[in-house]
Amino acid sequence: MAARFDLRPALPSVDGFPRQAWLGAITRGAEDPARRAARLRRPARRAGAAPGARQLAGPPPRRPRHRRQVLVTGGLRDSLPLVWRLLAARGARRVGVEDPGWWRIGRSAREAGLTPVPIPTDDDGLDPARLSDLDAIAVTPAHQFRPAPSSPPPAAPRSSPTPGPTARFILEDDYDAEFRYDRQPIGSLQGLAPDQVIYGGSCSKTLAPALRLGWLVLPSTLTAELHEDDPSSPAGTPPPIDQLALADLIDRGEVDRHLRRQRLRYRRRRDALLAQLHAQLPGFQVRGAAAGLFAVLVLPPGTDEEAAARRAEHHGVALEPLRAPGRAGLVLGYANLPEPSAPYAVSALARALT
């Protein structure tokens, strides 16, 4: 049975999708097939070959200098096998992953024959002392999945000072950087170290996960190793008509207007949730709510967070346990919690926790 209150952290607002703007962009992309025929025959797999490739990589401040650095994908999940193959070809073996973090990062690295190394995060982010023996690092600097305030991203590690086949690369998952409320925007690591950072973005949080539209911005040292007919290119390459539609929305300013509307919607929903947590669960700390689409409710030490999540589900609240070593917590997404529903959702959660 579906939960009455969906607080899963990975979902954007399902009632905020710009349906009319998207339908208009699809129509414009298909109304002149003769002019676009060459770009609509089949999905482009070669870096930079997709229509609107540079637009898909984000607004001008985040946009790469060269179109050929952009590989359009079905999202970071589909891109990870390619990323690990490219790094393994350069000698990478050990990949640092945030702990806690997105579980698929470590699993996909392991499936590719690499060794994921969990790196605990604290109030200052990743511990630099734990990064010295790694060949690559996967990070989410704009909003880490941890019970601590958001902080500026760590400086990009330098390449290995010793000669050899292995270079230090960073995989930057910029999954919800567009949404911030109580702090200034955090710049992309890719802009600081474009020759070292593999930047991954998608529309899953800004528009909808079902679009399966994403992109990689690759260092120039990696683009030369990609080929159009490479069988290991990312699976699920999005249809060119969808790529054209998104590029059209970006060029017309529709994506920026949508993001401004969504920031206001999410701020209101976040504020409503935080107010109710303060009123109904006053003994619990809430962390990580300055940006993104979720906050972490810190549970008392020794609490079985998996059991707490099951009790919450029994009371009609869908959420996720934090799964951080030595720290118990629940991850509460507020994107799909309208303000009038916040008192009832927190009341149900309070019954599960008290």
- Tell me, what CATH number does 281's domain have? 3.90.1150.10
Residues 271 and 210 in one domain: no
Domains of the chain: total: 2
Residues 137 and 246 in one domain: yes
Q: Of the residues 209, 226, 253, which one is the last residue of a structural domain?
A: 253
Residues 249 and 260 in one domain: no
Query: Residues 6 or more apart from 310 whose CB is under 8 A from it?
Result: none
pLDDT attached to residue 354: 86
Q: Of the residues 206, 229, 253, which one is the last residue of a structural domain?
A: 253
pLDDT attached to residue 213: 86
For 192-225, b where at least 16 C-beta lie within 10 A, e where not — what string?
A: ebbebbbbbbbbbbbbbbebbbbbbbbbeebbee
205 and 171 in contact (C-beta within 8 Å)?
no
Mean pLDDT by 10 residues, the chain (354 residues): 84 88 88 52 45 50 56 85 90 87 86 90 67 84 52 40 50 75 67 84 86 86 63 62 86 90 93 97 89 89 94 95 85 94 97 93
What is the CATH number for 175? 3.40.640.10
pLDDT attached to residue 272: 97
305 and 323 in contact (C-beta within 8 Å)?
yes
pLDDT attached to residue 298: 94
Say how far apart CA 287 and CA 118 lie, in whole Å: 21
The terminus-to-terminus CA distance of the chain in angstroms comes to 23
> Which residue range(s) make up the domain with 267?
5-15+255-353
Residues 300 and 244 in one domain: no
Residues 302 and 167 in one domain: no
Say how far apart CA 49 and CA 70 lie, in whole Å: 8
Residues 218 and 286 in one domain: no
Say how far apart CA 183 and CA 153 lie, in whole Å: 13
Residues 141 and 265 in one domain: no
Q: Of the residues 199, 229, 253, which one is the last residue of a structural domain?
A: 253
Residues 62 and 152 in one domain: yes
Residues 219 and 276 in one domain: no
Residues 259 and 248 in one domain: no
Residues 43 and 165 in one domain: yes
Token reading at 83: 């990323």
List % helix, strand, coil for the chain (3-state, nearest 5): 35, 20, 45
Residues 263 and 241 in one domain: no
For residue 113, give Cα distances in angstroms to 81, 95, 121: 10, 11, 24
Against a cut of 0.95, is the pTM above it?
no
Q: Looking at residue 61, what DSSP letter applies?
A: G
